[in-house]
Amino acid sequence: MTLIVPLTARTLRAMAGRLCGYVGLALVAALWPLASAHAAPIPVVAAESTYGAIAQAIGGPYVQVSSIIQNPNVDPHQFEATPQTARSVAHAAIVVMNGLGYDDWMRKMLAANPAPKRVVIVAAALDPALVMPDQNPHVFYDPRVGALVAQRLAALLQQADPAHAADFKRNLQAFEQSLRQVDGVVRQLAAQHPGLAVLATEPVYGYMLRQLGWRSLGDTFQFNVMNGTEPAPRVVARYEDELRQHRAALLVYNSQVSDPLTQRMRGIARQSGIPMVGVSEFAPPGMGYTAWLLSSLHAVQQTLAKGGR
């Protein structure tokens, strides 16, 4: 026997309600995997691996960091971008660069690949008061600049990914805590060798020397070499004299550059018994920013302890 239920307006409304309920549950079930899945990592591009190391420390697994220059043997002043580099920059949500003419190739790529929502962090512009009067572009050797980059990154990542804001905050705190190790070694070295006179083949380590309270000699020579300009004979003669007369207690050289002039100066320093230490412009792959700063400070500390031996 078939039961016929009259389709009154009330019955139709009840059936429609139940149908909507079933459809709603189906939609929730279908969308649930998407809602519970993690968002894709935020793409961050760093002009140099030094800044890429900071971005990785702050972003952790929630960022995808691409460092354009990470080979310690590459001269950033002569770097030429590739199509692959341009694609990485075009898809980046955040770009970190140095500024002060150090990586102008990045500015050109940003202009060639406009993206209204992309945010660019220029390390040297975060606090102009920290930039040396001579406009030395190697600001990454000032841990205060590294801290500012980390703080800016943390703020941007918290906005872009609120679900992991607490992680970014914790990572920033851990990063800032690690920089205290650098401060400790700097204070120790400054106390052991107050007001030390230092020569350098390039002004790469200038910001760290300022932190140490040490005097940098031969700055004209250093900037000539950095800019690829042939130093005047009198500048070269003065630099050689400072080496031969042992007016500096240490020679810092750029381990990424090997040209006849700097090799000659290193030879004179060796003959004069002046200790030498090489520093790089980039954190090597897999090394954190703090560890990179500490590695150069420890190298300086060990070199000075050995003296001219």
pLDDT tens for each residue of 156-179: 999 999 999 999 999 999 999 999
Q: Reply yes or no on whether the pLDDT at 88 is more than 70.
A: yes
Last residue of a domain, one of 179, 211, 232: 179
Q: 144 or 22: which carries more pLDDT confidence?
A: 144
User: Number of structural domains, the chain?
Assistant: 2
CB atoms within 10 A of CB 15: 11
294 and 189 housed in the same domain: yes
103 and 164 housed in the same domain: yes
236 and 288 housed in the same domain: yes
154 and 258 housed in the same domain: no
Predicted pLDDT of residue 72:
65
155 and 257 housed in the same domain: no
Predicted pLDDT of residue 31:
30
Last residue of a domain, one of 132, 149, 179: 179
Q: Are 76 and 281 in contact (CB under 8 A)?
A: yes
87 and 123 housed in the same domain: yes
64 inside domain: yes
135 and 259 housed in the same domain: no
1 inside domain: no
Q: pTM to 2 decimals?
A: 0.85
Residues counted in the chain:
309
Predicted pLDDT of residue 26:
36
- pLDDT band at 79, cuts 50/70/90? confident
290 inside domain: yes
Q: Reply yes or no on whether the pLDDT at 193 is more than 70.
A: yes
How large is the average pLDDT for residues 190-218?
Answer: 97
Predicted pLDDT of residue 9:
40
Choose the weakest-confidence range: 96-100, 101-105, 206-210, 305-309: 305-309
Predicted pLDDT of residue 149:
98
How large is the average pLDDT for residues 47-55?
Answer: 97
198 inside domain: yes
Average pLDDT of the residues of the chain: 87
65-69: list long-range contacts, CB under 8 Å, 24+ apart. Answer: 66/92, 68/106, 69/103, 69/282
Residue 48, strand partner residues: 69
52 and 155 housed in the same domain: yes
pLDDT tens-place string over residues 110-149 = 999 899 999 999 999 999 999 999 999 999 999 999 999 9
90 and 196 housed in the same domain: no
- pLDDT band at 10, cuts 50/70/90? very low
189 and 118 housed in the same domain: no
Q: Reply yes or no on whether the pLDDT at 28 is more than 70.
A: no
195 inside domain: yes
Pick from 222, 214, 280: which is nearest to 249 by CA? Answer: 214
Query: What single string gives the DSSP state of each residue in 92-152?
Result: -SEEEE--TTTTHHHHHHHHHS--TT-EEEEGGGS-GGGS-TT--S-GGGSHHHHHHHHHH
Predicted pLDDT of residue 234:
98
Predicted pLDDT of residue 306:
87
Pick from 225, 280, 227: which is nearest to 71 by CA? Answer: 280
Query: Helix, strand or coil for residue 277?
Result: strand
130 inside domain: yes
Containing structural domain, residue 196: 183-306
139 and 211 housed in the same domain: no
196 and 255 housed in the same domain: yes
State the pairing for strand pair 250-254/276-279.
Answer: parallel
134 inside domain: yes
Last residue of a domain, one of 179, 210, 234: 179
Predicted pLDDT of residue 38:
43
pLDDT tens-place string over residues 32-50 = 332 333 479 999 999 999 9
Predicted pLDDT of residue 17:
43
16 inside domain: no
Q: Which two tokens stand for residue 73?
A: 């043997």
**Which CATH number do you get for residue 285?**
3.40.50.1980
Percent of the chain with pLDDT over 90: 77
Predicted pLDDT of residue 81:
79
